[in-house]
Chain A
Amino acid sequence: MSTATLSCQELVELVTDYLEDALPPEERARFEHHLERCRGCTTYVEQIRITIELTGHVHADDLDPRTRDAIVEAFRDWSSTG
C-alpha cells in the first residue's frame, strides 16, 4: 500500500474502521482526503451509512410461539415454587 495515497479499492476496506473511529489519525486524514476528491467513494460511504440505517428498521425472526409458550410456562412453575 502506498504511503501517500489510498486507492478506491483500499478505501472500501477501511470504511468500517473509519465509521467506528478506529483509524489512526494519519490514516483517517488520508481517508478523508481521498473522499474529498472521489465521488465513487463518497457514494460508497453514503450507501454504507444508508445500509446501517435501513438495517435498523429490520425485525429479526421471533421465537417459535411454542418455544415462547414453553418458556412462559417454565416461568410460572418457577415463580409458584420459588
Chain B
Amino acid sequence: MEQLQAPEDARVVDALRAGDEATFTMLVEDWSPAMLRVARIYVPTRAIAEDVVQETWIAVLRGIDRFQGRSSLRTWVFRILANTAKTRGERERRTVPLSALEDPLRVPEPAISADRFLDADHPNYPGHWASPPVSWSTQPEERLLGAETRAVIGGSIAKLPPGQRAVISLRDVEGWGSEEVCNVLGISETNQRVLLHRARAKVRQALEEYLDAGTEQ
C-alpha cells in the first residue's frame, strides 16, 4: 500500500502522527474553506457546517494511524467530511439538496435565458443569438483582476444552490480535477459536469451584468 502514497502525503502524515502542530494548522487553514462548502451541501446552516468541519478534523486525528494512502490524504479527509455532513444532515432532516446533487438533470436549467436567442421558428436564424455577449477583451486588466470583480464572483458563488456551489468551489476555486470531485461527492462525471456547467453559467452571467454596466454610455 505504501508505494501508492504520494511522497508529499507520506511526509505530511508522518508529521501529523509525530504531533507537528504547524503542519496540522496549515492543512486546516488550506482545506477548511472548501470543506465548509462541501458540508453545506448536506447541512442547512453555516454554523452547523463549522461544527461538521471541526468534527471531521477530530475524526481525522483519531483515524490517521489507519490512513494507508489508498487515496490521497485530501480525498480521504474530504470523504470523512462528506460522510460526517451527510449523517448530520439526516439528523437535521435536510434531504432536498442531496437529491438535487444526485439527479441535477431532473430539473432543467438553461445556461442563458431563452430571451437572448431568436425563436425556434425564426425563418432564417432559429436559436441564433438575438442579444449576443459583448467581448470582454476591451475591459482593462485592472478591472478584470480587481477586488470588485472578485467580490462579484464570490457573491454569485455564495448565491448558488449548495451542490453547484460545492462543485465550482472544488473545481474552479481550488483547482481540483473532476475525478477527485466525483469521488468525494459520490456523483457521476455527468452530474458533476451538469452542476459545474450551471454554476459557471451563473457566475459568467453575474460578471457580464457587472462588466457591461460599467461600460454602458
Q: Does A52 contact B (CB under 8 A)?
A: yes
Q: Does B178 contact A (CB under 8 A)?
A: yes
**Complex contact A70–B54 (CB within 8 A):** yes
Supposing A13-B111, A40-B129, A60-B169 touch, asked if A54 and B145 sit within 8 A by C-beta, the answer is yes
User: Are A47 and B136 also in contact (CB < 8 A) when A16-B200, A72-B24 are?
Assistant: yes
Q: How large is the interface on A (under 10, 10 to 19, 20 to 34, 35 or more residues)?
A: 35 or more
Taking a contact as CB atoms under 8 Å apart, the answer to whether B175 and A8 are in contact is no
Is B13 an interface residue when CB atoms closer than 8 A count as contact? Answer: no
Nearest CB on A from B61, distance (A): 5
Measured between beta carbons, the chain A residues less than 8 angstroms from B110 are: 13
Number of interface residues of B (CB under 8 A): 57
Complex contact B127–A52 (CB within 8 A) = no
Q: Is A82 located at the chain interface by the 8 A CB criterion?
A: yes
CB < 8 Å neighbour of B208 from A47, A60, A76: A47
Q: Annotate B105-119 by CB proximity to A: 1 below 8 A, 0 otherwise.
A: 000001110100100
Segment of B66-74, B78-86, B90-98, B148-156 in the binding face: B148-156
Q: Which B residues, 16 to 60, have Cβ-Cβ distances below 8 Å to chain A?
A: 19, 21, 24-25, 28-29, 32-34, 36-37, 50, 53-54, 57-58
